[in-house]
Structure 1
Amino acid sequence: MLQSDADNYFQTSDSVAEQKRRQAKADNKNGSPVALTSKILAIHADPQDPDAVYIAEAAGTARRVALETGEKSSVYTGAAAPLTSLTTLRSPSAEPILFAACWDKTIHSWNLKTRKPLRRYAGHSDFVKCVLATELSGIPVLLSGSADSTIIVWNVETGRKIHTLKGHARAVLDLTLDPAATTKDELCLFSADTVRDIRSWKITLDSASDMLPTPLRPHETSVNRLRFEDSLVVDADDADADADLWTASSDKTAQRLVRSRDWATDTTLPHPDFVRDIVIDQQAGWVVTACRDEEVRVWNSASGELACVFSGHFNEVTGLALMPPAQGSRASRVVSVSIDGTLRVWSLDPAEMKKAKEEYERQQNGIEVEEEPEVKKESMLTAEEEAELAELMDSDDE
């Protein structure tokens, strides 16, 4: 049934009710929200500052956000379309660089310190969905995955293509390096797509080849994120040779694929909706997931049991970053970002997790907790752009 209210023309009763629910939930202060003026599509931890992250916005800007103060004035501009993924590169031979994948089919880059726009990498024929920067035989390289189903390896300094990897049948959604198999002269890259295929590539400056005779297919549909347990290890010589692979999928599960069992699944974490991201606090034994149902969940990595739910976002959670402990704490933090335009910080301290669990249970039981109202900012996107963004986020998830 359609609403008759003039403010709700062309909206169903369900859509109006959902809008009101989100408006009511938006008033909460859980996770000490930092509000942005646009939908946040990706997050990347600052490798040089344990209290800062970079975020990618649908408005086409990237920002550096200080977690302790909420300062967000360091802005990287120049893109005229939504940014979908971020990565950084710090090389002895070059200035530190921030890269952003974009809807405009290119990768934008900026000098991290001056925020001055640098090179644009053009070569894909569709949206660029994921980027990853590293070094190969002493040369800074950029890897990008696109909706055109290809992966391109770029020479950062010249902007030229080194390799174009073909093998995926549909959009490439994520890229990650295997810390146990990557060396300074050879990259072991894992990639995931919307068909559900996970592929592995051996890349040198002279060659690139698919390492798996058949792709891994642990999920029923799109694989949105790949994370190795030791994905934060910089030196491959220090990596755990048994590092396993965690995946997040639109089939409403996250899974652990075990290296010693030829990447068979030994743990499955069920969710009520698409799982968008996953991070691993290996030392503490936690796995944290981001879900389209607006929640951030913490799981025991050994048992697969749900430890707590961090509830605060009032729209889809799009990304997570695992951060070191805050000053005076021993527990890691997780930063989450969302379509709701907020960034929130959650402590993995057992006492804080207990509080979050209790509050979530109260919410589930219908016990209201009063919160101070928060002024909401309207989206900077047009209705047509909103529809296009929704299609991008959910493409091929059926």
Structure 2
Amino acid sequence: MLCCLNPDCSNPLNPCGIPNCQSCGVPLIPLLRGHYRVIKVLSDEGGFGRTYLAEDVDKLNERCVVKQLAPKVQGTYALKKAIESFQQEAQRLQELGKNSQIPTLLAYFEEDSYLYLVQEFIDGQTLLKELRQQGTCSETEIREVLLDLLPVLKFIHERGVIHRDIKPQNIMRRSPQPMLTRGVGGMSASGGKIGGAKGELVLIDFGASKQLSATVRTKPGTTIGTRGYSPLEQLQDGEAYPASDLFGLGATCFHLISGVSPGLLWTENGYSWVASWRQYLKRPISTDLAEIFDKLLKKDIKERYQSVDEVIKDLVSEPLPSPSPILTNRLLAGAVILLLGFGGVWYVNDFQLLDFIGDKNSFLIKTLNGHSNLVTSVAISPIPPDSPLSKGGLGGILVSSSFDTTLKLWNLATGKEIFTLEGNAGSVHSVATSPDGRTVASGNGDNTIKLWNPLTGQEIRTLYGHLSSVESLAISSDSKMLASGSFNGTIILWKLPSGKEIATINSHSGAVKSVAFSPDGKTLASGSEDNTIKLWNLASKKVIRIFKGHSQPIRSVAITPDGKTLASSSADDTIKLWNLSTGQEIHTFKGHSFSVNSIAITPDGKILASGSSDHTIKLWDLATKWEIRTLKGHSKEVTSIAISPDGKTLASAGTDGTINLWRMVR
């Protein structure tokens, strides 16, 4: 069967081989984007499009899920918000998809005026369907659910995301794979479950997710979430925090153990049910689990658990009834348990454990605090020699951008804040400084670029032209050209200081996460989430060559000062060096255990620095290809790094909201 992609079609299923839908007459699309055969409607999004089941013919008809955005909304604001929400869902899935408990993003594109998002198909069923088929959960099963889901919530919260719609319908359990058993003839599949355990839980539907900030607000009068599962601050004020997801988790577990829908209780009693939830249980539960439920379901957010770690600490600090294989596996996979001599239990993240038992890093100069959300990008601007500031001992200006919508300028020598620039309409995704020290560019989530004077803190102008968020920026060595890469794969070239658009080049099929000019200003390298790096001739605006070798999206690109070598980093945890003239791969650095989000090269071309989601920065010798040292100081993933013009100082930014300054030499 073939599915009609008209979101208004009342009977979309059609036999293969016919040109038009039998129901609505719209032409059928045999293969969406050339390789997705859409075969079934999974859900209708009520005026915003549909979700379909599809097969990828290029992958032996592997199943996948296709989400279609076709909003029937009036007014530019509503349409803009619908598109932004859809783009944000794609971005979140791209960022979070390395976790096996979150569906992987496979593609994001536009076709026939509709936006499409393609993601991994989860073979299994939701916890709501499981509840209806198998009945309520035991206390042991509820503990397993908590210990399966808490690490994935910790994972998304650390990366600046709140799901906002935790409920049984949005949690799927993967179907257990057949267990391999050894017989006389070798290995064979049995019908049993691996280890006797249930399948892994997967968190789905990130369409309601929002970037994490001190306060996340929607337009007045609108809410995101589900009554009964979403807390008061979310439904009443449109505010969401990590604690808001924990309320949803508590409501979900209550539903699974009682069989009573929180939505029905909310309709009848409002939030009063959270104080009397025990009366709906069919059998009593242990005191410690009941106390955890009490704190998860607090109406007042200030009285609720504030983080996943707090829940896990209470959950594992008491004896667990009848431990099961899945419980043991989750503990070993998601955490390190330290058993202390006096009988207590500490839960710590594995990276935090390394910092706990290790010495302070002697290369750390200073930690800068000031942003209220994750720091997305850092850059270092020199001081123009003709500026009065050149005699003020600054040594350079550090510029940082954040999801808190601000830019901050810092004295690189002292670490003191100079300016906070607040003219951005939304989160700031990227920042770049000009080599002459006279311009700072910021790329924003509202599709704009702003130019600033770093010496005065004044806004120069706003550049319009991108149709989606600006993910990356670079300024040429002569300070006369700006390149910007966006979420939809487009690159725009701009003239500086006028801000006049020179050209738009569009060849990537995924977000452009990094751009870099060659030292002579004749070529531009762009790294994309389509797993490729492209080298552009800036005179002809044509692609010179394409670098392929990374197995995951490109996070950062840089070119050595001699213009001979291109460096690239990727979500595949590696850094690669390429011959810029021939396109041949020279070397692969392996050492990070998670995505390498940012790279930078010293002005003398001798050292490459890399910042990773494994919370570390590594320094590499480009001549010997050896690792020089590892810098540890961030408690969460490193998002961006920059090296000062004199090569003596490295700045690193993280999702922990801090900026660290490091000395490059002793």
Normalised by the size of structure 2, how large is the TM-score? 0.40
Q: Which amino acid aligns with 2:492?
A: R
Equivalent residue for 1:347? 621
Match for residue 501 of structure 2 among 210, 219, 225: 210
Equivalent residue for 1:122? 422
Equivalent residue for 2:533? 254
**Structure 1 residue 350: Cα displacement:** 4.7
**Structure 1 residue 334: Cα displacement:** 1.2
Equivalent residue for 2:467? 169
> Aligned ranges for residues 210-359 of structure 1 at < 5 Å?
210-212=501-503, 215-230=504-519, 240=520, 243-281=522-560, 283=562, 285-323=564-602, 332-350=606-624, 352=626
Equivalent residue for 1:371? none
Query: 1 or 2, which has the higher helix percentage?
Result: 2
Partner Cα separation in structure 2 for residue 190 and residue 379 of structure 1:
29
Gap regions ≥5 residues in structure 1:
25-34, 39-68, 231-239, 326-330, 354-374, 381-388, 390-398
Equivalent residue for 1:367? none
Partner Cα separation in structure 2 for residue 197 and residue 376 of structure 1:
35
User: Against the structure 1 CA distance between its residues 172 and 133, is the aligned structure 2 distance closer, same or farther, given a 3 Å change threshold?
Assistant: same
Partner Cα separation in structure 1 for residue 485 and residue 563 of structure 2:
27
Q: Is 1:336–1:345's contact at 8 Å kept on the other side of the alignment?
A: yes
Equivalent residue for 1:108? 408
User: Against the structure 1 CA distance between its residues 19 and 288, is the aligned structure 2 distance closer, same or farther, given a 3 Å change threshold?
Assistant: farther
Partner Cα separation in structure 2 for residue 87 and residue 123 of structure 1:
19
1:172-215 Cα deviation digits (max 9, x unpaired)? 11111233xx46xxx321111111111111233xx431112xx1
Partner Cα separation in structure 1 for residue 440 and residue 603 of structure 2:
26
Q: Which amino acid aligns with 1:209?
A: K
Q: Which amino acid aligns with 1:267?
A: I
Q: Which amino acid aligns with 1:259?
A: L
- Residue 73 in 1 paired to residue 365 in 2? yes
User: Against the structure 1 CA distance between its residues 351 and 223, is the aligned structure 2 distance closer, same or farther, given a 3 Å change threshold?
Assistant: closer
Q: Is 2:148–2:200's contact at 8 Å kept on the other side of the alignment?
A: no
Partner Cα separation in structure 2 for residue 284 and residue 170 of structure 1:
31
Partner Cα separation in structure 2 for residue 18 and residue 299 of structure 1:
40
Tell me the secondary structure at the aligned position of residue 73 of structure 1.
Answer: strand
Tell me the secondary structure at the aligned position of residue 293 of structure 1.
Answer: coil
Q: Is 1:226–1:247's contact at 8 Å kept on the other side of the alignment?
A: yes
Partner Cα separation in structure 2 for residue 155 and residue 202 of structure 1:
16
Q: Is 2:613–2:636's contact at 8 Å kept on the other side of the alignment?
A: no
Q: Is 2:573–2:596's contact at 8 Å kept on the other side of the alignment?
A: yes
**Structure 1 residue 19: Cα displacement:** 9.7
Partner Cα separation in structure 2 for residue 131 and residue 376 of structure 1:
23
Q: Percent identity, please.
A: 23
Partner Cα separation in structure 1 for residue 545 and residue 331 of structure 2:
39
Equivalent residue for 2:157? none
Partner Cα separation in structure 2 for residue 307 and residue 18 of structure 1:
40
Tell me the secondary structure at the aligned position of residue 81 of structure 1.
Answer: coil
Q: Is 2:403–2:427's contact at 8 Å kept on the other side of the alignment?
A: yes
- Residue 8 in 1 paired to residue 147 in 2? yes
Q: Which amino acid aligns with 1:223?
A: V
**Structure 1 residue 18: Cα displacement:** 10
Q: Is 1:224–1:250's contact at 8 Å kept on the other side of the alignment?
A: yes
Normalised by the size of structure 1, how large is the TM-score? 0.65
**Structure 1 residue 315: Cα displacement:** 1.3
- Residue 153 in 1 paired to residue 435 in 2? no
Q: Is 1:254–1:270's contact at 8 Å kept on the other side of the alignment?
A: no
Aligned length: 296
Partner Cα separation in structure 2 for residue 281 and residue 135 of structure 1:
15
With 281-290 and 112-121 compared, the bigger mean Cα shift is at 281-290
Partner Cα separation in structure 2 for residue 112 and residue 320 of structure 1:
20
**Structure 1 residue 131: Cα displacement:** 1.5
**Structure 1 residue 275: Cα displacement:** 0.3
1:86-141 Cα deviation digits (max 9, x unpaired)? 112232322332110011101012111221112100111111111223377xx833
Q: Is 2:532–2:546's contact at 8 Å kept on the other side of the alignment?
A: no
Partner Cα separation in structure 2 for residue 229 and residue 377 of structure 1:
31
User: Against the structure 1 CA distance between its residues 80 and 217, is the aligned structure 2 distance closer, same or farther, given a 3 Å change threshold?
Assistant: same
**Structure 1 residue 299: Cα displacement:** 2.2
Equivalent residue for 1:192? 485
Q: Which amino acid aligns with 1:247?
A: S
Gap regions ≥5 residues in structure 2:
1-123, 128-139, 153-198, 203-325, 337-349, 354-360, 638-654, 656-666
Partner Cα separation in structure 2 for residue 8 and residue 164 of structure 1:
47
User: Against the structure 1 CA distance between its residues 133 and 36, is the aligned structure 2 distance closer, same or farther, given a 3 Å change threshold?
Assistant: farther
Rg comparison, structure with higher value: 2
User: Against the structure 1 CA distance between its residues 377 and 257, is the aligned structure 2 distance closer, same or farther, given a 3 Å change threshold?
Assistant: closer
> Aligned ranges for residues 35-74 of structure 1 at < 5 Å?
70-74=362-366
Tell me the secondary structure at the aligned position of residue 493 of structure 2.
Answer: strand
